[in-house]
Amino acid sequence: MESGLIHIPYMRPERTSRQTFDWALANAREADQAGFTEFMVAEHATQKWECIPTPELVIAAAAVQTERIKFAPMAHLLPQHHPAQLAIQVGWLSQILEGRYFLGIGAGAYPQAAELHGITDVSTNPARVRESLEIMEKIWKREPFHYEGQFWNAGYPEEVDDGQGHDDHKIADYSPWGGTMDIAVTGLSVNSPSIRFAGERGFMPVSIYSGSSILKTHWETYEKAALEHGHTPDRSRYHVSQTVFVAETDAEAKKLAMEGGIGYAFERYLWPIWERFGMLEGYIKDVGGDPSDVDLEWICDNVWVVGSPETVIEKLNKLYEFTGGWGVLQVETHDYMDDPAPWFQSLRLIAQEVAPKIQLPFSVTAGN
Ligand SMILES: Cc1cc2nc3c(=O)[nH]c(=O)nc-3n(C[C@H](O)[C@H](O)[C@H](O)COP(=O)(O)O)c2cc1C
């Protein structure tokens, strides 16, 4: 299994923008040095706890402070951007990163962010995602077109010939580095339209872990759509995000998770959101528990993956056996900026002690 980070970033609301930015870069540097392969940065225009509105700024700054790790916005919310502006921006950023970039796309989770961008009917979001991507791909081809869509108009201009055989007035090339853009799609709901779309297009699926049966359904949806559209579903390209904390002993890990940034964010912010999105139901079903059992310790024991390296390996292996597994564990970052040492130690243990010991149990090709 490869290990990545997803930086949402779940900052305490009193943090300044500068502190948030610095904490993002510190995580990127540590993850790069620890051996993480990917660093994803979320995009939220309205959420106080999820306070990075423009992931591309973090990515550009972090890229020059790191050497190997790949970056992705996870996700650029396609309904909330003009596709021409986004196509040029991500194409250019992929060129700046010279292969250390891929594009995450999503529909957008929060109606307030949609409202900010003038979208009053969020049921149009899946159609907006498809139209946006269609326009972006046309722009990346760099051939003249004019498109009048349901949501946006865009085009690609004709080259101007200066009549003297010079290239000076040609249109700048902001198409993806290497000619193609690697794309990943986020999926959340049980019958996820986003995961189906990822399968149809052969893009990488990215799920938030919210119970084994939802994850199984996501893979089945992805696999079916991929096969129907002539793509080979490959579990090694499947990304799953999860809250993970590792320390030398189980007791130490549990204390640092519950009393540190993870517990703080769950108690004040995430738990109510998870209830609203129905995400706790999947975990309750996994354990065979009752909603009245749920408190922070229950969440620590049954929802997060917390413990010594041995315990975390055992927990992840169990999840792999039940769900079929995934290729990249996307560890969700939390606010440990007042005392970062245990958090960074946890990152090192995940990348160096845990991830190499987790293997996909089945063949990674179609039908398994
Ligand atoms: C791993 C992951 C990352 C996400 N990142 C964001 C984000 O940065 N901003 C946001 O508004 N929504 C984010 N979402 C939610 C998506 O925008 C979207 O609401 C969701 O994928 C829709 O899933 P569905 O088609 O399964 O209903 C994310 C979802 C997942 C699974």
Q: Which of 44, 186, 201, 206 to mutate to test the pocket of ligand 1 (most atoms within 8 A of CB)?
A: 186
CB atoms within 10 A of CB 183: 20
How is the chain split into domains, by residue range?
A: 2-74+182-357
**Confidence check: pLDDT of 368 > 60:** no
Residue 207 Cα to ligand 1 midpoint, Å, equals 8
Residue 164 Cα to ligand 1 midpoint, Å, equals 50
Name the average pLDDT for the chain.
94
Residue 170 Cα to ligand 1 midpoint, Å, equals 38
Q: Which residues line ligand 1 (CB under 6 A)?
A: 42-44, 74-75, 77, 106-110, 113, 186-189, 192-194, 206-208, 241
Which of 103 and 210 is assigned the larger pLDDT? Answer: 103
pLDDT in tens, 134-166: 999 999 999 999 999 999 999 999 988 778 878
pLDDT in tens, 10-64: 999 999 999 999 999 999 999 999 999 999 999 999 999 999 999 999 999 999 9
Question: Please, which pLDDT band fits residue 264 given cuts at 50, 70 and 90?
Answer: very high
State mean pLDDT over 312-341. 95
Question: What is the length of the chain?
Answer: 368
Question: Please, which pLDDT band fits residue 282 given cuts at 50, 70 and 90?
Answer: confident
Nearest protein Cα to ligand 1, atom 25: 194
pLDDT in tens, 74-130: 999 999 999 999 999 999 999 999 999 999 999 999 999 999 999 999 999 999 999
Residue 249 Cα to ligand 1 midpoint, Å, equals 33
The winner for highest mean pLDDT among 164-168, 181-185, 279-283 is 181-185
pLDDT of residue 205: 98
What is the model's pTM?
0.96
C-alpha gyration radius of the chain: 21
CB atoms within 10 A of CB 320: 18
Percentage of the chain exceeding pLDDT 90: 84
73 CA: nearest ligand 1 atom: 8
**Confidence check: pLDDT of 342 > 60:** yes
Domain 2-74+182-357, CATH among 3.40.50.720, 3.40.50.880, 3.20.20.30, 1.20.140.160: 3.20.20.30
Q: Decide if 97 contacts 71 (C-beta within 8 A).
A: yes
Nearest protein Cα to ligand 1, atom 30: 186
pLDDT in tens, 310-324: 999 999 999 998 899
